[in-house]
Amino acid sequence: DAGITQSPRHKVTETGTPVTLRCHQTENHRYMYWYRQDPGHGLRLIHYSYGVKDTDKGEVSDGYSVSRSKTEDFLLTLESATSSQTSVYFCAVPRAGSNNEQFFGPGTRLTVL
């Protein structure tokens, strides 16, 4: 599991509230990724990071921001949650010693009412 934890594992919130999801890794890897998974769409990349304070957008980045102030933590923030952001969010990091094979965390199920 590449030492990945995500918190919280479940969250219910209301439209318009800010939400922050946390991904924590213990492998000291440079790259980290945030995906969302929705029925019929598979997993889609939201943002990724290639180092402390180095981040870039994925294919579905609108409405999301990220921060990485230290190697082990990658935060995903929904500034003002909307119902369309109800989803399961996964964090991924590459296998130690490789940039290719990504291993996924257990996921965070977010419901926006």
Partner 1 sequence: EDQVTQSPEALRLQEGESSSLNCSYTVSGLRGLFWYRQDPGKGPEFLFTLYSAGEEKEKERLKATLTKKESFLHITAPKPEDSATYLCAVQLGDSSYKLIFGSGTRLLVRP
Give the binding site for partner 1 (CB under 8 A). Answer: 31, 33, 35, 40-45, 48, 50, 56, 58, 90, 92, 94-95, 99-107
Report the residue number, 85 or 107, with the smaller CB distance to partner 1: 107
Count other C-beta atoms under 10 Å from residue 62's C-beta.
8
Find the shortest distance in angstroms from Cβ 44 to partner 1.
7
Find the shortest distance in angstroms from Cβ 42 to partner 1.
4
Find the shortest distance in angstroms from Cβ 15 to partner 1.
25
Which one, of 96, 49, 57, 97, lies nearest residue 74 by Cα? 49
What is the token pair recorded at 91?
């964090």
Cβ–Cβ under 8 Å, residues 90 and 107: yes
Any idea of the CA torsion for 74, 80, 83, 88, to the nearest 10 degrees? Answer: 10
Report the residue number, 14 or 56, with the smaller CB distance to partner 1: 56
Report the residue number, 66 or 107, with the smaller CB distance to partner 1: 107
